[in-house]
Every structure is written in C-alpha cells, then in structure tokens.
Amino acid sequence: MANTYELIEAQTLSTSASSVTFSSIPQTYTDIRIFISARGTGPYTNTNLKMQVGNGTVSTSGYSEKMVYTSNGTTAASYGQSAQAQSDLQYFPLATSTANTFSNNDIYIPNYTGSTAKSFSIDSASEYNAPAAVLAMDAGLSSNTSAINIITFTPNAGNFAQYSTFYLYGIKNS
Amino acid sequence: MTRPTRVEVNCTTGETSIIELTDAEIAEIEVAALAAADQQAAAEAEAAAVAAAKAAGQAKLAALGLTAEEIAALSK
C-alpha cells in the first residue's frame, strides 16, 4: 500500500495537440501512475494510444506487451507483440464515437528509477455507447534500463482533442 | 494556416510549453495517419469476411434442414 500518493503534474489541453510529454519527472518516488482521459480528432471510432518512455529522450524501440481485450462487448480475445517502437495496446475514442465521450486510461509503472527493463500495466476503456468500444488490460515491458524521466503519449491517428486530461502521480512506499 | 502543436510539461519547473511541430514531425504524423487508415481498412475487411462466412455457413445449415434454434445452438 502506498504511503505517499502525490500529484506531480496535471495537464488539460486548451486546444488539440499532436502529443503530450511529461519531462524532467522527479526521481524521488517508488512508482508512477498516469491517468488519461482523452479523445482524438481522427476519423474513426477509436484507436491506439501510443506511449514511449526514456531518459532525456524517449526510447523508440524495445517495447513488448500482451493484452486481453474485447471490442464487441461479448467475447474476449488476447493479443501480443514484441520489438515495437512504442507501447500502443491502450485505446481512446475518436471523432466518430459517441459525442463528448473521453477514454479512461490507467497506466502504472513500478520502479521507474531502477536500472533494469521497465514493466508497466495499463487498463483502458475507449468509451463508446455501442459494442465497438474497446476494453483492454495490457501488461508490457520497455527494454530501456535507464531511469525514466520522460514519457510521451501520441495518438495513433489525428490529434488529442481539446479538454483531454493527463495526470501524473508519484507513489512512495515510505 | 496554423501549424499543429505538441505539449510538453516540465515536471521539475511546472512549465508547460506548446511547441509547433517541425516539417519532419508533420510528415511523420501523416505517415502514421496513412498507416492507421490501412489498419482500419484491413480490420473492417476482416470483420466483413468473417460475417459473410458466418452467414454462408448458416445458410448451408438451413439448407440441410436445421432450424434457426439448432443453428444458433451450434454457434454457442
């Protein structure tokens, strides 16, 4: 159980943006957690939300992950990928999804200052008032062994829409 | 025309920067958009093929004399 759970930074987009980056992340916590509520301007119902982590600059290789998901509201399926340029098995709604709906994305990165590969887990729901909404539980790994002090989020298509929110929390076990 | 922007939040200073994309970054986004369009088209084609195969299979079962309830039971 976390003894310390502090908001490091919050960002609500005042206009659409092609990506959102948290840089110079303090190295004083045990774990970090990011909550995203996003919507995109792309032309589809929902799409992948890309995440890259790094030190100084983001790593553009060495991401692997597996997820269990449903995209029809009835059956669950699984999917895995490795040697990717980013983590992208989390989802958010785009322009043709239900109006004014935003995603729920919960990203947990334990031991982010460590010197080994970085694991992460992501729960996401793209939010759409129809079975085409995607609900996914993802477990991943970045081969980056440097302490994480920068994280970037990018839509797979289009931009993040105005009013999308990004909250970065620091968690300590003491 | 306004150039697209990206947002960077410096967690040490609290400063938020809205940065205009370079030509190279804009080109990268356009490539990603095309890839996403291809991905979407492939997913839709696959879903349509599965639906068509299912409908064809059900029609063949009906032609063999199975009732709608029996066909539905087979797909559970």
| Domains identified in chain B, total number | 1
Alpha-carbon distance A32 to A26, whole Å?
A: 10
pLDDT score, position B31: 84
pLDDT interval class at B1 (50, 70, 90): low
Please count the other Cβ atoms lying within 10 Å of the Cβ belonging to residue A70: 14
Instruction: Identify which has the larger pLDDT, A72 or B57.
Output: B57
Q: CA of A134, closest CA in chain B: separation in Å? A: 14
Domain that holds residue B44: 5-74
pLDDT score, position B27: 87
Which of A123, A145, A166 lies closest to A53, judged by CA?
A145
**How many helices (H) and strands (E) in chain A?**
0, 13
For chain A, give the percent of residues with pLDDT over 90: 78
Q: CA of B39, closest CA in chain A: separation in Å? A: 10
- Write out pLDDT tens, residues A54-72: 999 999 999 999 999 998 8
Q: Pick from A16, A18, A84 the residue to mutate for testing the B interface (most B CBs within 10 Å).
A: A18
pLDDT interval class at B36 (50, 70, 90): confident
Find the mean pLDDT for residues A102-115: 96
Domain that holds residue A78: 4-172
pLDDT interval class at A157 (50, 70, 90): confident
Q: Which of B11, B18, B40 sits opposite A9 (nearest CB)?
A: B11
Distances (CA, A) of A12 to A15, A73, A106, A123, A149: 9, 30, 16, 20, 20
Find the mean pLDDT for residues A83-89: 94
pLDDT score, position B65: 94
Find the mean pLDDT for residues B29-35: 81
- Consecutive H or E run containing A50: strand A46-55
Q: What CATH number is associated with residue A27? A: 2.60.120
| Domains identified in chain A, total number | 1
Find the mean pLDDT for residues B31-59: 87
pTM comes to 0.85
pLDDT score, position A1: 60
| ipTM confidence score | 0.88
